[in-house]
Amino acid sequence: MRMFPITTGLPTGKIGQASLTIHRIREIVVYEENTRTTGCGELCLPPARTSRLRQAASLRFIRSTVILLGIAVITGCANMKSHDVVATNVQAQVQTGTVASAIDELDKSASSDSERAGLLYNLERGELLRLNKQYPESTAAFLKADALVNEWEQTAKTDPSKLLGKIGAALISERLSDYEGQDYEKVWLTTRLALNHLAQGETENARADIKRTHEREAVIAEFRAKSLAAAEAEAKTKGAAATGKELNGYPVETINDPAVLKLKNSYSNALSHYLAGFLYEVLNEPGLAAPGYRKAIELKPETPLLEEGLRGLDKRTSFTHKRHKKMTDVLFVVEAGNAPARKPQAFTIPVPIDGWQTLSISYPVIAPSTDAPLSLLAANGQKLKLENVVDVNVMARRALKDDMPGMVMRGITRAIAKSVLQHQLSEHAGMFGQIAGMAASAYTEQADDRMWRMLPGRVYVARGYLPPGAYQLQIDGRDLGEKINIGGQYALIPIRLYENKAIEGNVIAFGELAPPAPAPTKKGAKRKKATT
């Protein structure tokens, strides 16, 4: 079997050591044995002695390789577990039990301090705490996650080669790499922080989060341009597929359908920018509100509610309008369902080993959503149209499409590395080595299914004027529970809708309506009273 160089860009630590090439392991073992016995390595030994040492080294090589495989499997067990299984169990608790029980289910899945300090755990936990209206605790979890994303941002800006090094790297498994978060998740995080800060009355912190959302999108855009160029160059060099079409049986229609291709990118969403416009409008900064509304329209064109946000901005922020306004300008943010799952599936792909061979490699698949769309929100009978402004399922599939070139390259390099390992184990350890190699290869060849699964599947918005008071809400004829109180100049009302449950967040009110003008006095009546 032809040997391929597979050590470029390997990770460090125990997992990285397990990824060394067999050729390099043998070199190390032989050199150390000879140095130990003679002090001068292999060069000053007679041929017979060298031959005996090589045989002894081969035995040590077999033991070392088996130990390294064990290390890879044992130390990787926590990361190799399926996040899809964990997330599905947690989601079931939210829908059929309580949010508190869902938090407990998530906490049980994190068995180490490193897992509890990780990005994905804190994203999931922050979202659950937010659903449970534990806003300070949710914000604390989100800030832990945000600190890790900030580290990623700094690396992307100052030394992007560290992140780009993953392209084509011979990883043992995609699941063993640190989870950096999907790009759209990074943007959602600052949006969630802004909503949490608003719920806690911290308007200035929310304003800062909105500003960071725009900055984060700019960093992601620049880094992804470099990442795509690197992946395409690597694919061209190795003759690998760059789109997923060459993967035998891969459902390319899931990442190439019109909804996916229509997206400007995988990370910008209309809700984040519309909320930016709404918040700046609330703060009476129409000059900053307009770009937010304009960007939302650009991301989700032909959406009447988004267009009205920009078109009616000047009138809504005028002094005369505010002085005479007697109703609350209410923005409903309705989030439905859950974010999609990445399901690992095995596909065959040709790889350059002894010419070309077809090997099985695991890649993730995201199925399109089948959830029925929402259309109408009613508040005490007053009807407001719901506009779909974000489809997280489509964003996730676009992110997968953009990641596919890098995934294909890593899969090819990983397959080559594992094939070489199995061949060498078979040569030097017979059937036992071959079985050990096959078992380790099968165990670690599982596509990465990590995603922020507690996010909603789709987001809708509705906006209109309502007199202050208590309201019973309905969505498409379905009662949402207890009445809510609406008041102030502006109000923001978050709602999370599941198949058999609705969770209404705290009503966020801004400002106060102008007091009603005093009733006009009847001068004639006063004069008459005075003369009697």
Query: With bands split at pLDDT 50, 70 and 90, how would you rate the model's confidence at 236?
Result: low
Q: What is the mean pLDDT of residues 147-163?
A: 88
* pLDDT (0 to 100) of residue 15: 35
* pLDDT (0 to 100) of residue 372: 93
* pLDDT (0 to 100) of residue 486: 96
Within 10 Å of residue 96's Cβ, how many Cβ atoms? Answer: 13
One DSSP character per residue, 308-332 reads HHHHTHHHHTSHHHHHH--SEEEEE
- Most confident of the following: 125-139, 174-188, 443-457: 125-139
Lowest mean pLDDT across 71-80, 279-288, 357-366, 445-454 = 71-80
Helix (DSSP H) and strand (DSSP E) numbers for the chain: 19, 14
Lowest mean pLDDT across 152-156, 229-233, 236-240, 351-355 = 236-240
Q: Is the pLDDT of residue 98 over 70?
A: yes
* pLDDT (0 to 100) of residue 18: 36
Dist. CA 194–CA 205, nearest whole Å: 7
- Most confident of the following: 216-230, 406-420, 513-527: 216-230
Query: Among 232, 134, 219, which Cα is nearest to 181's?
Result: 219
Lowest mean pLDDT across 32-41, 259-268, 340-349, 398-407 = 32-41
Cβ atoms of 364 and 397 within 8 Å: the answer is: no
Q: Which residues, 6 or more positions from 424, have their beta carbon under 8 angstroms from its beta carbon? A: 22, 65, 433
* pLDDT (0 to 100) of residue 246: 57
* pLDDT (0 to 100) of residue 104: 97
* pLDDT (0 to 100) of residue 409: 76
Burial of 283 (0-12, 13-18, 19+ CB in 10 A): middle
Q: Residue 107 carries which side chain, given as an amino acid letter?
A: D
Q: Higher pLDDT residue, 298 or 402? A: 298
Dist. CA 174–CA 503, nearest whole Å: 35
Q: Is the pLDDT of residue 117 over 90?
A: yes
Q: Residue 147 carries which side chain, given as an amino acid letter?
A: A
Q: What is the mean pLDDT of residues 451-467?
A: 97
Provide Rg for the chain, Cα atoms. Answer: 30
Q: What is the mean pLDDT of residues 229-258?
A: 71
- Most confident of the following: 17-31, 117-131, 344-358, 513-527: 117-131
Q: What is the mean pLDDT of residues 29-37?
A: 49
Within 10 Å of residue 273's Cβ, how many Cβ atoms? Answer: 28
Task: For the full predicted model, state whether its pTM sits above 0.85.
Answer: no
Q: What is the mean pLDDT of residues 167-195?
A: 82
Q: Please give the share of the chain, as a percent, with pLDDT higher than 70.
A: 69
Q: Is the pLDDT of residue 402 over 80?
A: yes
Question: Which element (helix H / strand E) includes 508?
Answer: strand 508-510
Lowest mean pLDDT across 106-110, 135-139, 248-252, 272-276 = 248-252
Q: Higher pLDDT residue, 404 or 364? A: 364
Q: Higher pLDDT residue, 199 or 430? A: 199
Cβ atoms of 344 and 446 within 8 Å: the answer is: yes
Query: Among 379, 213, 381, 362, which Cα is nearest to 299's?
Result: 213
Q: Is the pLDDT of residue 21 over 50?
A: no
* pLDDT (0 to 100) of residue 331: 98
* pLDDT (0 to 100) of residue 443: 55
Cβ atoms of 505 and 332 within 8 Å: the answer is: no
* pLDDT (0 to 100) of residue 14: 33
Q: Please give the share of the chain, as a percent, with pLDDT higher than 90.
A: 55
Question: In 3-state terms, what secondary structure has residue 477?
Answer: coil
pLDDT, the chain, mean: 81
* pLDDT (0 to 100) of residue 338: 94
One DSSP character per residue, 145-156 reads HHHHHHHHHHHH
Cβ atoms of 465 and 331 within 8 Å: the answer is: no
Query: With bands split at pLDDT 50, 70 and 90, how would you rate the model's confidence at 10?
Result: very low
Query: Among 356, 418, 417, 446, which Cα is nearest to 8's?
Result: 417
Q: Is the pLDDT of residue 8 over 70?
A: no
Query: Among 189, 121, 207, which Cα is nearest to 153's?
Result: 189
Dist. CA 498–CA 504, nearest whole Å: 11
Q: Is the pLDDT of residue 480 over 60?
A: yes
pLDDT tens digits for range 36-82: 555 554 445 455 555 655 555 555 555 555 545 544 544 445 456 89
Q: What is the mean pLDDT of residues 458-473?
A: 97
Dist. CA 435–CA 433, nearest whole Å: 5
Query: Among 268, 100, 119, 191, which Cα is nearest to 494's?
Result: 191
| Tokens encoding 458 | 């789709």
List the Cα angle 79/84/86 in 5-degree steps.
75
One DSSP character per residue, 389-451 reads EEEHHHHHHHHHHHHHHHHHHHHHHHHHHHHHHHHHHHHHHHHHHHHHHHHHHHHH-------
- Report phi then psi at 290, rounded to 5: -60, -45
* pLDDT (0 to 100) of residue 408: 80
Q: What is the mean pLDDT of residues 78-96?
A: 88
Q: Residue 414 carries which side chain, given as an amino acid letter?
A: R
Q: Is the pLDDT of residue 371 over 70?
A: yes
pLDDT tens digits for range 272-295: 999 999 999 999 999 999 999 999
Burial of 60 (0-12, 13-18, 19+ CB in 10 A): middle
What are the residues facing 486 on neighbouring strands?
Answer: 469
Q: Which residues, 6 or more positions from 220, have their beta carbon under 8 angstroms from its beta carbon? A: 156, 183, 186, 187, 267
The structural domains of the chain, ordered by start, are: 13-71 (no CATH), 81-459 (1.25.40.10)
